[in-house]
Structure 1
Amino acid sequence: MITLDSTFTILEATAEESEFIRDEIVQFNIQQVPLTQKEILVHKNYVVKENNKIIAGITAKIYMWGILFIDILFIAESHRKKHLGTYLLNKVEEEARKEGATLAHLDTF
């Protein structure tokens, strides 16, 4: 088992502390590998509506080096198997390419 020096304490991070950690690593990463895009984050979020009701949607972002991260893809159960997911993924990928993205990744569940 690893023990910490008695002057260190481990605590659950607050939202502000979590933001500080994220900002610090972003700045470090930028120093190591310069950005290839003007804005650190470019959001690409789309919805599909039917009769003014959201039936599908995707949230994604292009970050730092032209990397697309697809965060959420949702299709209402009643509208699955209708190619809406394929359409939304293609839309986000096409828009990301226009912004100069060359890589995409996502998490699955």
Structure 2
Amino acid sequence: MGFKRLIKKGLLGGAGGMIEGHILDAIQKKKETGKSFRECLSESVKETISEDMPGTSHVYQMGKTDGRKQGTVEQAKRDEKIMQKKCEDHERERHEWEKIDKEKDELLDEMGKNL
């Protein structure tokens, strides 16, 4: 959507160009979000530079994607450790329950013999 948004801002500005387009876009965002005009104008300009302009948008998207991939790899390692710990805990508890179950069966057998 970046390039379309860039053209829209240029068309909004009419003969005044991008500056008026940014101002009109900021006014529209202000109505929608309720933020201050200055914040909306800053977001509009940042949006244009980092996401909409053909030269800079590719660099911006590459950095954004690289960060996500790295974060995903790190999260996968953390999740794997957590799952291994849960698996080990489960196995330990399973052995404890088997031991308790065996002791219960032996006790019932002993009580059955005495009756």
TM-score category, normalised to shorter length: under 0.3
Q: Which has a greater percent of strand?
A: 1
Q: Normalized against structure 2, the TM-score is what?
A: 0.22
RCO comparison, higher one (Cα < 8 Å, 6+): 1
TM-score by length of 1: 0.23
Greater fraction of residues in helix: 2
